[in-house]
Amino acid sequence: MRVSFYIKRRVKPIKYSGIIVPIGSIILALIISSILLLLSNINPLYLYQAIASSAAEYSTLRYSIPLILAGVGLAIAYRANVWNIGSEGQILAGAVITTWLALYILPHEMPSSLALAILYISGFIAGAFLALIPAILKVKFGVNEVLSTLMLNYIMLQLTNYLVYGPWRGLKEYGYPRSDIFPKSMWIPQIPRTSIHYPTLIIAVILSILTFILIYKTKTGYEIRVLGSNPDAAKYSGMNIAKIITIVMLLSGGFAGIAGVGEVAGVHRQLIRAEMVSAGFGYTAIIVAWLAKLNPLVIILTGYFIGILVSASYTLQIFTGVSYGSVNVITGILLISLISLEFLSRYKPVVKIIR
């Protein structure tokens, strides 16, 4: 007797998998996280209390802003099967260009509305430019964009830290690795008594809506979806694949760059260490995009949900003393659960006993 095991593609994905997979992955991730907490002698109820309390916290919305912007950008690229892993570096690119303009280029007495418009546009351009590099490498030389975007993350991280430890270290910061405070005309306004920089939030929502229209209601969006679902069909139908790859990478990087503007001009009001500017938002946005099934409108909701987890991690620290890294464990489990259930919705394991 011999046992045969193999994976077989389903004729059709499981019915309602678009709803079952995201919700199921969240439930599975919470169950596994609870087990891990129990093994660490921590009551899992603290986790659920932290999540419940964070759902109504202002800080949740503050964390959601960069996650939504980066998530929408990644959704555009992933729709075309272009795997941009560089949002982290693209956020930092937007932060660096914002700092340079705010401290060294723009007149401090410039009207705030004009200054902020310049910062947002420049942040988009900086993020888009960084994303353009791996796009060109992919189109011209066939370089894998996963590797090139990932390496650029580390380059931007080191560049940012070099600037705050070196030439841009603030004269009034007592030797700490951070720049001088931006002029007030370069501050993005916040909702009073919160860190929610509402102009960036409004931009994030508008871009989500516009991206939905782009992907589902325009010729360019149709080409993006065809390239993502059937690259051979896109090629043989005469679509300009190089152009599509370049467009999605420019938009993906540009949206992340805007998030970087919001972090330094809307939250910190200065450039600080790279690990604190982005705080992993670029990587976490990958989960935001996939949890929404790459739907730009749903990303508004999934961005808020992941924002709850980020905010809850700080609350969990207070309740239990666990490290901030606990949220990375939870989001990591969530990503694994999401990928696993997505796979099982399209493929099924088959076991045969051969006598």
What pLDDT digit, counting tens, does each position of 316-335 carry? 777 777 776 666 787 788 88
User: Looking at residue 327, what is its pLDDT?
Assistant: 65
Phi, psi for residue 17 in degrees, rounded to 5: -65, -25
Domain assignments of the chain as residue spans, ordered by start = 58-293
CA distances from 326 to 187, 208, 347 (A): 32, 29, 31
- CA angle 134/139/144 to nearest 5° reads 50
Phi, psi for residue 310 in degrees, rounded to 5: -65, -45
d(CA 256, CA 259): 5
User: Looking at residue 143, what is its pLDDT?
Assistant: 96
User: Looking at residue 321, what is its pLDDT?
Assistant: 73
User: Looking at residue 325, what is its pLDDT?
Assistant: 67
Low-confidence spans in the chain with pLDDT less than 50 = none
Both structure tokens of 53: 């309390």
Both structure tokens of 77: 């690229």
User: Looking at residue 48, what is its pLDDT?
Assistant: 87
pTM of the shown model: 0.93
What are the pLDDT digits (tens) for 150-191? 999 999 999 999 999 999 999 888 889 999 999 999 999 999
14: DSSP letter? P
